[in-house]
Amino acid sequence: MINSVTEATLQTLEISGIVFLMMVLVDFFDVRTRGHIKEVITRSRWNQYLSASFLGVTPGCLGAYVNVSMYMHGFLGLGGIAAGMIATSGDEAFVMLVQFPKTALLLFLILFLIAIPLGGLLDYLADKFKIVRCTDCEMHEVHSQDESRNYKHYFTVHIWQHLFRNHMVRIRFSIQTRLQFLLNFRLGSD
């Protein structure tokens, strides 16, 4: 049982660390471009579907983590995040690329092409049924100090106050849920 708890805790911390790093990465690029990346992606819903689906179809889970971070920062709406998740094959993409590369690439292309209109359909349904998406993070903004490369300001305001204290609190609850699920699953299979 102690091994199960230790393993579940380590996996949870690893995933939380990756999610936090992706949040920092998205925030950093948004700040460095003074909001230009967000402006391009949010210009139309189709830009969101294309961007999220492209990130989703890249092998591994990194694209999905970036999509979640972009959703939390208001880059993507419900349809965008859904399109990214539909296109995602996760770490299994590496196995597929080794075992059957041509079929895997065809599958990734199909997932990419299917994800885009399904993202649009989800946004249409969300609008029709008045489903409200998470609002943009109120704390996420580009400050005048960011333009002067004030890294102390960036670390204290963006990383510590915004990402860690605001968003990691939300992630903590999902960590607790994941840990409880893993423990229940492992204890039930012993």
Q: Please give the pLDDT value at position 11.
A: 81
Q: Please give the pLDDT value at position 95.
A: 96
Same domain membership, residue 61 and residue 127: yes
Same domain membership, residue 124 and residue 40: yes
Q: What is the mean pLDDT of the chain?
A: 81
Give me 167's structure tokens: 């968003």
Read out DSSP for the chain? -HHHHHHHHHHHHHHHHHHHHHHHHHHHHHHHTTTHHHHHHHT-HHHHHHHHHHHHHSSBSHHHHHHHHHHHTTS--HHHHHHHHHH--BTHHHHHHHH-HHHHHHHHHHHHHHHHHHHHHHHHHHHHTTPPPPPPPTT----HHHHTT-HHHIIIIIIIIIIIIIIHHHHHHHHHHHHHHHHHHHHHH-
Q: Is-above-0.85 flag for pTM? A: no
Q: What is the Cα–Cα distance from 180 to 190, expressed in whole angstroms?
A: 15
Q: What is the Cα–Cα distance from 11 to 182, expressed in whole angstroms?
A: 10
Asked which of 23-32, 88-97, 170-179 is least confident by mean pLDDT, the reply is 170-179
Identity of the amino acid at 4:
S
Same domain membership, residue 146 and residue 112: no
Same domain membership, residue 146 and residue 129: no
Domain, as residue range, for 8: 1-33+142-190
Q: Please give the pLDDT value at position 146.
A: 47
- Count of domains in the chain? 2
pLDDT higher at 172 or 132: 132
Same domain membership, residue 106 and residue 46: yes
pLDDT at 51 over 90: yes
**66 in Cβ contact with 36 (< 8 Å):** no
Q: Please give the pLDDT value at position 177.
A: 64
Q: What is the Cα–Cα distance from 158 to 161, expressed in whole angstroms?
A: 6
pLDDT at 15 over 50: yes
Same domain membership, residue 44 and residue 16: no
Q: Please give the pLDDT value at position 106.
A: 98
Same domain membership, residue 55 and residue 15: no
Q: Please give the pLDDT value at position 156.
A: 72
